[in-house]
Structure 1
């Protein structure tokens, strides 16, 4: 069999979790020895669609006319569209209707967690929905002195300086406002937010927060990948993820694979795969501050169990699940 892995608007999405997810799919198929293409003009047996634009919809219609099987990847929901771009809350009901229509064109929907499966199922999707993690490359996030040094040199990290990092788009949904409020309550710690979003697509208050209206101990260096980012994952003291809504949270998997302490908001997406034995959860800013201080002071260390969670969702593990879903769809 041959799989078409399709990502519309790649230049726009490559910095997002969806951009990472398709790279993980490619790696998973390489491991399994399954042929794939990213060119929709080549022959294929299954079109695995990762995006939701008009080109994606047209490709679904074309694949169906050709008698090919179609998988829509449920990376997005109405719930995680809210509190993101300008007018996202106003448009959210329309987005739900569109996603429902699009997912109903598929022969199968793959989504990263049981939580996102439950949400998508509630839309009235007729196709079978399968929960398969986006997976994580354990070797990529293994501790490296070279990478850690690259991170420390780039940010001029001083010996003994405490670092709390996050990686996300500039969205209220990601908890960017709480990240800054908590940093203000911990002035002796450096807070670094990796990632970026086109500033003209986000609300003005978020734009101002990123540009000027944030505490002195908060930094927004933009989108950084490679050695510096991977070094930050292992060399920082805490990965802090205050997101309000996710379908999985690839960056959390990256942190767990980096053998890093994770403090995250207590939200339903983690139910069934990430619990208090592997990460520290909180709901209020005061509880976040308490949890972060306990990690920094060495009172909390859940890294060993957290890494085991990452191992359970490694790309090698996900590879077999993905291939099984493809084979089931083709009746093999």
Structure 2
């Protein structure tokens, strides 16, 4: 039976990394590479005989592929909605209206738009997307994040971290909407705890509030380690070395880092925002600016409460493991190609 040829497109492979879109792309690449029914290509410029081109980004390289005559069916994973860029990229409020027009046009070229969350689907409908939209959440291979006391000890030793000190970790770009300022404020309130922020400003001067946030990173208190942008494998080591994840973001289309933290077997504390309602519900521990520090302290000192947080995280990891989404993705491909005799065996 003939394999289905999928050309997976993401400009993050050769441009800026250290963000959730690239992680989601890598996870999908790994998932598809294991499928015997799929012939996987990545960022192929002149490929012929492609059945499906699946886009994760919308830059110039992706645009050229989108307009090609040899792309087959077009699938776009919508990781970004207009609000994602306000508080992420410098000057977004100035050019956001023009960007909305482009994003609407780009997504409307698709045969299928994959929204990574119900919130994202709602935002796409508000944007005016007329293409078929379906929700397929981001997922990760949770086996890669397996953790236990021995692994945690080894990771701390490898990273030069205190083997006994409580560690709270955040993971993402340093940008206004991620509320790095809240992370620092809480760290100042809990000086006995080691705080680690995995990430930096991958877009450099193009990042929103670059100068201010760079200064905040340099002037972080003694109990805060900011790793800057690191390879994904090293980011995983930092999470496996940690006791609790704290993500004070005020806007997320999904929150892939939360699954990574949950898969490492630690409680996940977030800002109480509606963006998480449909994806995580009460499986994440919700708090607010006035209570972040006390919530973190309670979970680090109360063994029963901590165990409850770990159980919640195990449920998150089970819900968003790639084994739960791979069949859905292949079924979506098959539905697009159902009238084409070349799809036998998908």
Regarding TM over 0.5, the answer is yes
Q: Which residue of 2 aligns with 1:208?
A: 215
Tell me, in whole angstroms, the C-alpha distance in 1 between the residues paired with 2:216 and 2:252. Answer: 22
Tell me, in whole angstroms, the C-alpha distance in 1 between the residues paired with 2:65 and 2:162. Answer: 51
- Per-residue CA shift, 1:90-133, capped at 9, x if unaligned? 22222222111110111110121111111111111111111111
* Matched position secondary structure for 2:142: coil
Using a 3 Å threshold, how does the CA distance of structure 1 residues 11 and 195 change in structure 2: closer, same or farther?
A: farther
* Matched position secondary structure for 1:140: helix
Using a 3 Å threshold, how does the CA distance of structure 1 residues 18 and 159 change in structure 2: closer, same or farther?
A: closer
- Per-residue CA shift, 1:1-48, capped at 9, x if unaligned? 211101124233332111111111122223432221012322311110
Q: Which residue of 2 aligns with 1:21?
A: 24
Matched, 1:261 2:270: no
Higher mean alpha-carbon deviation, 264-273 vs 109-118, is at: 264-273
Q: Which residue of 2 aligns with 1:99?
A: 103
Displacement after TM superposition at 1:243 (Å): 1.0
Tell me, in whole angstroms, the C-alpha distance in 2 between the residues paired with 1:56 and 1:250. Answer: 23
For these two proteins, the number of residue pairs brought into alignment is: 327
Higher mean alpha-carbon deviation, 46-55 vs 229-238, is at: 229-238
Q: Which residue of 2 aligns with 1:56?
A: 62
Tell me, in whole angstroms, the C-alpha distance in 1 between the residues paired with 2:309 and 2:212. Answer: 35
Tell me, in whole angstroms, the C-alpha distance in 2 between the residues paired with 1:266 and 1:188. Answer: 25
Contact 2:10 2:25 in 1 (8 A): yes
* Matched position secondary structure for 2:278: coil
* Matched position secondary structure for 2:54: strand
Match of 1:222 among 223, 228, 236: 228
Displacement after TM superposition at 1:291 (Å): 1.3
Match of 1:179 among 177, 183, 187: 183
Tell me, in whole angstroms, the C-alpha distance in 1 between the residues paired with 2:323 and 2:95. Answer: 38
Using a 3 Å threshold, how does the CA distance of structure 1 residues 9 and 160 change in structure 2: closer, same or farther?
A: closer
Match of 1:137 among 129, 135, 141: 141
Match of 1:235 among 241, 255, 262: 241
Gaps of 5+ in 1: none
* Matched position secondary structure for 2:329: helix
Tell me, in whole angstroms, the C-alpha distance in 1 between the residues paired with 2:80 and 2:232. Answer: 26
Tell me, in whole angstroms, the C-alpha distance in 2 between the residues paired with 1:145 and 1:90. Answer: 49
Gaps of 5+ in 2: 340-346
Contact 2:159 2:238 in 1 (8 A): no
Q: Which residue of 1 aligns with 2:91?
A: 87
Structure 1 residues 1-332: aligned runs within 5 Å: 1-33=4-36, 34-38=38-42, 39-43=44-48, 44-62=50-68, 65-66=69-70, 68-143=72-147, 147-198=151-202, 199-202=204-207, 203=209, 204-212=211-219, 214-225=220-231, 228-276=234-282, 278-283=283-288, 285-298=289-302, 299-300=305-306, 301-331=308-338
Displacement after TM superposition at 1:161 (Å): 0.9
Tell me, in whole angstroms, the C-alpha distance in 2 between the residues paired with 1:67 and 1:193. Answer: 39
Higher mean alpha-carbon deviation, 297-306 vs 42-51, is at: 297-306
* Matched position secondary structure for 1:13: coil
Task: Give the TM-score taking structure 1 as reference length.
Answer: 0.92
Tell me, in whole angstroms, the C-alpha distance in 2 between the residues paired with 1:87 and 1:221. Answer: 26
Tell me, in whole angstroms, the C-alpha distance in 1 between the residues paired with 2:311 and 2:159. Answer: 27
Displacement after TM superposition at 1:67 (Å): 6.9
Tell me, in whole angstroms, the C-alpha distance in 2 between the residues paired with 1:7 and 1:146. Answer: 36
Using a 3 Å threshold, how does the CA distance of structure 1 residues 9 and 142 change in structure 2: closer, same or farther?
A: closer
Using a 3 Å threshold, how does the CA distance of structure 1 residues 151 and 22 change in structure 2: closer, same or farther?
A: same
